[in-house]
Structures are given as structure tokens and as C-alpha cells.
Chains A and B, each alone.
Chain A
Amino acid sequence: MRGADYVIKRLAFAVLTVFIAVTINFALFRLAPGSAVTNLARVPHATPETRQALKRQFGLDKSKFQQYLIYLQQLAHGNLGISFANSQPVADNLRTALINSVPMVFLGTIFAIVLGTLTGIVAAWRRGTKTEGASLTTALTFYSMPTHWLGLMLVILFAGTLPTGGMSDEFLIDPSFTTHVKDLGEHILLPSLTLGLVLYGEYTLIVRSAMLETLGEDYVLTARAKGLKPWAILRRHALRNALLPITTLVALSLGYIVAGAILIETVFSWPGIGRAVYDAVLQRDYPMLQGAFLVLTCSVVFFNLVADLLYFRLDPRITE
């Protein structure tokens, strides 16, 4: 069966990508000359015993290939090492961070997809009018703003009315459930809005050109010739076909979302995975950085796989 073939192919691609990311990760941290871990054992004025002990601790006394195998083995057991900064297992740190990140990123992305799709369709539909010009200009403007700077602008605008840092109010004593949720909602608003606004610009541009391409197809002309109402053509003939490139392009923008999350969480001190990356960079906490990179890559690969499978569901023709 062709469909099964396709699914297996995409799965294999995802697994291989993760494997490549793991290998890049290992190579960057261990093999590159003067790489992070090699440097650790180079303490100035250390006695040979200390140096030996350090080398053993990080497994540097073994051959590179053995080190690689050990790394893979540890990874398979979910062991990402110990954070230099707080001496906790990296996996535990990352789990907490990831749980914090997900709602913020999810909310922002949903906002962007809804708003971006709507304005994109309107822009394509009203091609050549002032509406198109206005929606394109707005989208391009938001698309052009550096993510963290837009966040800072929102901080300046809303300082005083909305909380601009952290995930919850530390001074709430024994909050009831509703107060807690309300507090979280207030904190999540600005970071999510920043992510949403930055992404929305990109989505508008994507949806618009996907719609324009579909509106130029012959079957749209046919539908028009049949005397269908514009709305019916738009919904049934154009939008459904435009969904295909939109799915792909939204999947490709995942890397952009991740980048946005790192910058936004830094601005708003949101204790998520992006903030973890920033802290790891500042403190040169290499195990954390390595782990965070791996988690981010795996999540992007995973959602790409989801998009691929969704694409197959939307358009079974691709297996042909």
C-alpha cells in the first residue's frame, strides 16, 4: 500500500533527523577543537591526578568512538547529564521548563494561525485593493520587528497594567484556584501576544500567496464559470487546496517559533525552555545547553512529522 509506504518513509526521516541532531550535538561539544568538554579537563596548575580524575569524570580517557557510544547509551536511558549550574539532572530541569513553555507557545501560535489565515485570505481575495495593501503592510511591519524588541515595546506599553515578568505572582499567599488561574492568565498574555504578533505577519504572507496561487488555477475559473457564489468557490475550491502549502509552510516556521520562544522567554523571564537556553549560555552550563538543543530539535522534528502526516491526510495524491 502506498499510504503505508509514505508514513514509514516520513517516520524513518524523522528518526534519522533526530539521530543526526544527536550526532551534531556530540560532535559540537566533544570533537570540535577546544570544545567545551575537552576544555574542562584543562584546569591550569592542576596536579596530574586532578586532571586524570576530571578526564575520567567526563569520560575523556576513552576513545572518541567509545565516548560516542556511551553518549548514545546514556541518551537512550534518558540521561542527559548533570547541570553545572544547579547540580540537578538536566532531564528534570528540562521537563519543568518544557511544561512551562508549552501553554505560552501554544496560545501564541494559535493566535497567529487564526489571525494570519483570516488576514491572508482577505488580502488574496481583495487583491489589488486598499484592503490588501493595508493588511500586507501591517503584516510586513510585524514580520520585520525583532521578536525581543517587540516584546520590550509591549513591556513599555503595558508596564503597570499587566505583569511583565515571570509566570506567577510570587507574593500571592495561598491563592485559591481561580485566583491562581487568573494570575497565570495575566502573566501569559504579553509573552503569547508577542509571539502571536511576530508569527501572524509571516502567516499572513504565506496564506496570501498560497491563496493567490490557488485562485489562479483553472478549476477556480471552472467553478466561476459554473456560476458558483464567490464564497462557495473560496471555501470549497480555493481554501481547501490552499491548505496544502499552508500546512507545509507552517511546519517550516516551527524553527522560527522556537527562536521566538527563546527571545520572548528571555524578555519576560518566563521560566521555560527558551529561558533555560539563555541561562545556560550565560552560565556556560554546557550539559543544559546540549540537552535544551536536543529537546528543541526533537520537538521541531516531531511537529514536522505531524505536519507531514496531516498533509497526507489532506492530500493522498502526494504518494503518487
Chain B
Amino acid sequence: MSVAVRQPGPVIEAEPIRSRRGIVWETIKRRPSAALGAGILLVVVVCAVLAPWIAPYDPHEQVGPVFGRPSWSHPLGLDDGGIDMLSLLMWGCRISLVVGFAATFVSMVIGGTIGLAAGYFGGRTDNVLMRITDYFLVIPDVPLMIVVAAIWGPSLFHIVIVIGILLWTSTARVIRAQVKSVRERVYVKRARALGAGHTRIVVRHVLPQVAPLLIANTVLTIAVAIFDETALAFLGLGDPSRISLGKVIENAFQRAAISTGAWWAIVPPGALVAVIILGCSLLGGALEDALNPRLRVAHLSAKSFRLRPLVGRSPDAV
């Protein structure tokens, strides 16, 4: 019997996590994928915010022939109403981002509160809240969104609320798990022994520990919210008076951009949505990765096998 002796790969020093607060910035600096994601989001947000000043044309005004080809004056061509696509995309981005951010905010407030309450108080509160979350998790959210949006009627506000109140389940679960582990740490116990109240413990000790995870989750939720808005708009449930990216895709589809051969009316808006979602996923995924020490090592991987760092293994080892 021969035993294959392998040279172990270079042992990589476990990176000490100085403070969890700096982890967002640290991750962006260290990981190219996070930096790429953050860069994409930055560019998109800047374009959307500056749309009224940098968009070359008015998004409501016919400036050329219907489905005009891309040219020097209209780099992305014209849509079915002779509107400049580039300007339309910039303005559409605004609405899509507003929906994405606002719906995510609603879902973070709900999910964060439920997760925090369930994890912090534990016991019966935890049981009841998590049971509710479980039911919501199973009910498919897009059909429910469609039903609610169809009954309420299309408006931007309704869409934000509909998406927001159905997206919070994963946030609640992630936050609950994290809060549960933080709550058992020694310094929280000490704070409690010193007489700190619930509010103080939550605000001073628990929230700062949970914040990075909440940020990662927010970024990922924005992607889902933007996707959901696009889907609802495509099914004719978007706000008819606001141009969002989803609305631009729907218009192009309904007005036969494909059979006309006007690919420029339908490829860019979807690609832009994909880029935004990609940016969110890259940044959010990298943050989550950085926060989950279990993913950092693989005893068995083709390139090298690393020693499992002790950092983060035992939260009680203070």
C-alpha cells in the first residue's frame, strides 16, 4: 500500500477581523468582485440621479422616426414612439431604483424588526414569529404580488408596498440567526448583568454586530425588488404614468419591437436590469461570503488546502 504524500499548500494566515463595522469597506477594498459590484451600482445610481441634467433628450418627446436605428445622435436608437432610448433608459433607471430602494426599505424594516424580536427575545415570541415567517416563506411571492397588484390597481406606491411586504422573510431568518448568536456572547451577558435595558443592549451591542449582515441582505434584496418590479410591469401591472425599466421592456414587447427587428428597443433595457442585479449580487454575495467564516476554507480543493482559521469558530472565546 502506498500512501500518497502531498505537499500541503501554503498555509494562509487567517485574516483577523478588526471590527465588524469596517467589514463593508474592507470587503470592497479586498475583493475585486465586490469592488466591481460597488462600481456598477455607483455608476448606475449617479446616472439615474443626474438624469435630468445629463440625459440628451426629453423622455416624453418624439425626436425622430419610430424605431429609428442607432446613429451618432441617438446611440441606442429610438423606441416605438420615436423617443431616444438612451434618455429613456436613464429616466427608467430612476423609477426602477426608487422602487427597488423603497421596497427594500419596507422589507428591511419588517424583516429586521421581526428577526431582531424573534432572535433577541427567543422563547414564545421566537416560536410565533418564526412560524409566521415559515408560512410566508412557502407561499410563492410573485403570484401573490400579482394578485394584490391586480386588485389594488397599478400605481407606484402600491407596487412598492406589495413588493416590500412580501420580501422580508429571508431577511427575518438571517437576522434572527445572527441575533441569536450575538445574544449569547459574553459581553452582552455582562451588559445585562450591569443592568442595561433591552433598548440599550439592542442598540449598542446587538445592532452593530448585525449591521454588516443587514447591509449585505439589503443589497441582495434590492436586486430581487428590481426584478419583481420588472416582472410586474411586464405583466401589465406597472404604473402606466411612470417609465421604469420594466415598463420599457413591456412597451417594446407589446409594440412588436421584435418582429419589427428593432432589437435596440428591447436588448438595452433588459441588459441594464441584468447589470444592476449583477452589481447587487456581486456586492451582496461578497459581503455575505466575507461574513461567513465557514466558506473561507475548504480542506479539499484542487488548488491548495488551507488550514481552517480559528477566527469566528467559537464566539464565546472572549
**Which residues of A pack against B, CB within 8 Å?**
13, 16-17, 20-21, 24-25, 28-29, 32, 35-36, 124-129, 140-141, 143-150, 152-153, 155-156, 159, 205, 209, 212-213, 215-218, 220-221, 224, 227, 230, 233-234, 238, 252, 254-255, 258-259, 262-263, 266-267, 277-278, 280-282, 284, 286, 289-290, 292-293, 296-297, 300-301, 304
Contact = CB atoms under 8 A, between A and B. Distances in A.
Nearest to B270: A149
Contact of A149 (B273, B298, B299, B308): B273
A217 B294 CA distance: 9
Contacts of A278: 235-236
A127 B302 contact: yes
15 contacts: A28-B147, A128-B301, A140-B278, A145-B270, A156-B258, A205-B285, A215-B299, A216-B295, A233-B300, A277-B143, A278-B235, A300-B138, A300-B139, A300-B140, A301-B139
Contacts, number: 186
Interface residues of B, number: 56
Interface in B101-156: 134-135, 137-144, 146-148, 150-151
A146 B140 contact: no
B304 interface: yes
Given A141-B278, A216-B298, A289-B147, A266 B3 contact: no
Contacts of B235: 262-263, 266, 277-278, 281
A297 B166 CA distance: 14
B281 interface: yes
Contacts of B146: 262, 277, 281, 289, 293
B303 A128 contact: yes
A91 to B, nearest CB: 18
Nearest to B295: A212
A146 B273 contact: yes
Nearest to B296: A216
A280 B236 CA distance: 11
Contacts of B223: 144
B277 interface: yes
B46 interface: no
Contacts of B171: none
Nearest to B231: A263
A101 to B, nearest CB: 13
Contacts of A36: 151
A230 B298 CA distance: 13
Contact of A24 (B139, B253, B308): B139
Contacts of A29: 151
